[in-house]
Amino acid sequence: LAEQKTVQKQQKTAVVVDATNCIAGRMCSHVSKLLLQGNRVVIVNAEKAMLSGNHYKTIELYKEHLEINSVTNPIHGPFHPRRPDTILSKMVRGMVPKRKSSGMTAFKRLRVYIGVPEEMKGAKMESFSDSKITKPESYYISIGEIAKQIGWKGEQ
């Protein structure tokens, strides 16, 4: 009974993760662990998360991925995210067991936002030290830039 109460307290207070200058994959693996432990997780500044590697190659891979669709009718999917927040949430979804009930409930506890919403402005933001970028920003490409290249007509 005491364990249930501590789990309920954890669920009420969400862990707010700032994605600014974090390597997306490493950050998402930490987030998926937190979700599977029963925490609510909110990721803010999704468009500022970074991917390492060659800029042109990364964009080419994303554009190639967009060409994959159903042979009979593209309406049947697969659907490819173009917004930075949905790209990040799909990354996290790939790291939880999405077909098991534990993974489904964990994924429902995730919220990803572009920028910082009003209700999160005063919250204490966390970031994982091993997922921060180590080289200058020019060695990385942000998810916002990739999203613009593949068809996001969003804010920036």
CATH tag, 15-66+80-117: 3.90.1180.10
Kindly report the pTM of this predicted structure.
Answer: 0.85
Q: Taking residues 4-28, what's their average pLDDT?
A: 78
Secondary structure string (H, E, C) spanning the chain: CHHHHHHHHHHHCCEEEECCCEEHHHHHHHHHHHHHCCCCEEEECHHHCEEECCHHHHHHHHHHHHCCCCCCCHHHCCCCCCCHHHHHHHHHHCCCCCCCHHHHHHHHCEEECCCCCHHHCCCCEECCHHHECCCCHHHEEEHHHHHHHCCCCCCC
pLDDT-based confidence at 10, cuts 50/70/90?
Answer: very low
